[in-house]
Structure 1
Amino acid sequence: MSIVLETRGLLKRFGGITPTNDVSLKVETGARLALIGPNGAGKTTLVNLLTGVLAPTAGSVWLDGRDITGLAPHRRVARGIVRTFQINQLFNDLTPLQSLALAVSSQQGLARGFWRVLGSQAAVGDECDVLLRQFHLDDVMHQKVRHLAYGKRRLLEIATALACKPRVLLLDEPVAGVPEGDRHEIFDIINALPPEVSILLIEHDMGLVFNFARSVTVLVNGSVFAEGDVASISADPRVKAVYLGEGEDAHA
């Protein structure tokens, strides 16, 4: 498999704190990679470095074999790195249809006139229709975001990210705050995303992680602690000790 996203010796320091410490990570094309670790392991900091929200103290980020370490976040989105957030980032006064029309129009270079484009460009409307159905939003497409159930907001955020045509989709705890009954619906939709979209997932629910991921990277204290397939990581006694809280060294 080809490597779509890579970090080389990525380091981030805030004074005396080092939330990302010499992280070298490879994401294969079509990957379903879960990034796990205890609270404070540096998972979200790493995602912020991948997306350009933070600049690294040292090291580099590569996309399709090109160094993108110096690119601004919006430039990385244009190159194909798109993320969602632990707390959803949506426009409360737009509807799902309007939100997706804005994302689709922006991806097609038509964002300035997206209100007009939605009614005049069939391709934009057709793509919005597909996304609304794919993410089970067609029944609430005309409701303002502020009135949507939280699970629907999460689905809209992922749909909006997919509208940006990502090569790599970074999902930062996509079911955080979502009622238990809606979590599996979200993961069923994530599991059905196109295979050419590489997905890096941060999630604390290990049942969902192990049902989704094909490979797992464990971060501890900002460093890569373990890597492997789901079976090897779930059976690793070191991972159980430091993350799952099992074993006599769990609290050492």
Structure 2
Amino acid sequence: MSSDIVLETRRLVKRFGGITATNEVSLTLRRGARHALIGPNGAGKTTLINQLTGVTPPTEGQVLLGGRDITGLAPHRRVALGLARTFQINQLFGELTPMQSLALAVSSRRDAARRWWKPMGSDREIATEVEALLAQFRLEAHADRLTRELPYGKRRLLEIGLAVALKPSVLLLDEPAAGVPAGERQDILDTVAALPADVSVLLIEHDMDLVFSFARSMTVLVNGAVLTEGTPEAIAADPRVRAVYLGEQHGR
């Protein structure tokens, strides 16, 4: 395995009864990648992400992280090894503020959460990191507001911020722009574009503006199998892709 390959799947298969959700999917993600996974509804994209993160065990095949076989590892073990994700539906604590949520994530990564007798925020290094994350994810003005009261776009930004707070080597973004109003989408586009260069990103997204502004390489999944891979330009020009997903009217 090449030293610059940070995440790899080998012939991943997932069957649910008589349905094959992923069919021998082999995928490689290189260091610093900006890679998009696209395909029509039901193509198997989220099932693949769930296999990468350990939520859904594969029926066959392997998942490797940094050359290590993690196929049988629990989700929290994968996070500890540097694999983080966001979800289509926000997984947030509505009664916490963004500052509190980010402080918990940073404290957990630093193992400071075990020091339960210390008031949260008393560690200056943690507080400094949280302040930087609030600025990076455009949440400074909302730092002390309850998460459940945030505009939806800000909640999406907070979820990405929580994943980045874990300092992953690989970040899986599952439709970060899903449900975000048009007026708040630019923040998502700009923030995703500005993610740390040393973090390898795999993006699942239906928003083609986000996909084509972000991705340097792409994989198209159809009926659980890889249809093709390539640059955004090559994918947009592929008549098979245009037929099944982008549509002939997509003038790229």
TM superposition score category, shorter chain reference: over 0.9
Paired letter, 1:59: G
**133, 138, 142: which is aligned to 1:131?**
133
User: C-alpha separation between the residues in 1 aligned to 2:224 and 2:17?
Assistant: 15
Deviations 1:71-126 (A, max 9, x none): 10000000011000000000000000000000000000122446835332111100
Letter in 2 for 1:206: M
- Give the structure 2 partner of residue 214 of structure 1: 216
**1:26 pairs with 2:53:** no
| 2:229 maps to which of 227, 230, 239 | 227
Residues 210 and 114 of structure 1, relative CA distance in 2, 3 Å threshold:
farther
Q: Is the 8 A contact 1:7 1:60 kept in 2?
A: yes
Between 29-38 and 184-193, the greater mean CA deviation after superposition: 184-193
CA contact (8 A) 1:7 1:62 kept: yes
1-structure distance, mates of 2:14, 2:121 = 46
Read off the aligned partner of 1:58 and give its amino acid letter: E
Equivalent in the alignment of 2:163: 161
Give 2:44's aligned residue: 42
In angstroms, what is the RMSD of aligned CA positions? 1.3
Instruction: Render the CA deviation track for 1:29-76: whole Å, top value 9, x for unaligned.
Output: 000000000000000000000000000000000011110101100000
The answer to whether the 8 A contact 1:29-1:197 is kept is: yes
Residue aligning to 1:250: none
Cα distance change of structure 1 residues 119 and 158 upon mapping to structure 2, 3 Å threshold: same
Query: What's the secondary structure of 2:120's corresponding residue?
Result: helix
* TM-score scaled by length of structure 1: 0.95
**Structure 1 gap ranges (5+):** 248-252
Deviations 1:163-200 (A, max 9, x none): 01111100000011100111121111111111100000
Kindly indicate whether the alpha-carbon contact (under 8 Å) linking 1:89 and 1:157 is maintained by their aligned counterparts in 2.
yes
CA distance in 1, matches of 2:246, 2:17: 30
- Pick aligned residue for 1:52 from 30, 54, 57: 54
1:79 match: 81
Alpha-carbon separation, structure 2, partners of 1:226 and 1:214:
15
**Change in CA separation of 1:76 and 1:225 when aligned onto 2, cut-off 3 Å:** same
Distance 1:117 1:223, change over 3 A: farther
Establish whether residue 93 from structure 1 lines up as the match of residue 95 from structure 2: yes
Q: Does 2:108 align with 1:143? A: no
Does the 8 A contact of 2:173 with 2:204 survive in 1?
yes
| Whole-angstrom distance in 1 between the partners of 2:91 and 2:33 | 25
- Does the CA-based 8 Å contact 2:84-2:170 persist in structure 1? yes
Q: Which residue of 2 aligns with 1:110?
A: 112
- Residues 103 and 121 in structure 2, CA contact (< 8 A), matched pair in contact too: no
* Matching residue within 233, 236, 239 for 2:238: 236
SS of aligned partner of 1:136? coil
Give the length in aligned residue pairs. 247
Q: Is the 8 A contact 2:36 2:217 kept in 1?
A: yes
Query: Quick check: 1:102–1:114 contact (8 Å CA) kept in 2?
Result: no
1:104 aligns to what SS in structure 2? helix
Give the counterpart of 2:121 among 108, 119, 122. Answer: 119
* CA distance in 1 between partners of 2:99 and 2:118 (Å): 13
Q: Tell me which stretches of 4 or more aligned residues in structure 1 moved more than 3 Å.
A: 112-117
Residues in 1 aligned to 2:237 and 2:247: alpha-carbon distance in whole angstroms: 13
Asked whether the 8 Å contact 1:30–1:195 carries over to 2, the reply is: yes
Aligned AA (2:68): R
TM-score (norm 2): 0.95
Q: What residue ranges of structure 2 are gaps of 5+ in the alignment?
A: none
